[in-house]
Amino acid sequence: MTTIKIKGMTCNHCVMAVTKALKGIGAIKNVKVDLQKGEATFDEADPVDMDTIREKIKKAGYEVES
Ligand SMILES: [Cu+2]
């Protein structure tokens, strides 16, 4: 299980957008986004490059904190 911090989420629409962005990456499963904590957790069926995740989140309009 991987947990990442995401900046810029303010409502459930943001949660949906981030969830969709992560689910769009084939190897990512079991996505859960926590609005209160500003975190996303997920499992990786195969290792996913953090840059790929960062890029997808950015395209959705949010930012991965590192
Ligand atoms: Cu929102």
Ligand 1 midpoint to CA 43 (Å): 24
Mean pLDDT of all residues in 40-47: 97
Mean pLDDT of all residues in 39-65: 97
Ligand 1 midpoint to CA 50 (Å): 23
Ligand 1 midpoint to CA 45 (Å): 28
The amino acid at 46: D
Q: Is 45 exposed, middle or buried (0-12, 13-18, 19+ CB in 10 A)?
A: exposed
Q: What is the pLDDT of residue 12?
A: 98
Domains annotated for the chain, with CATH where assigned, are 2-65 (3.30.70.100)
Q: Is the pTM of this model over 0.85?
A: yes
CB under 5 Å of ion ligand 1: residues: 10-11, 13-14
14-33 pLDDT, tens per residue? 999 999 999 999 999 999 99
66 pLDDT more than 80: no
Q: How far apart are CA 55 and CA 58, in angstroms?
A: 5
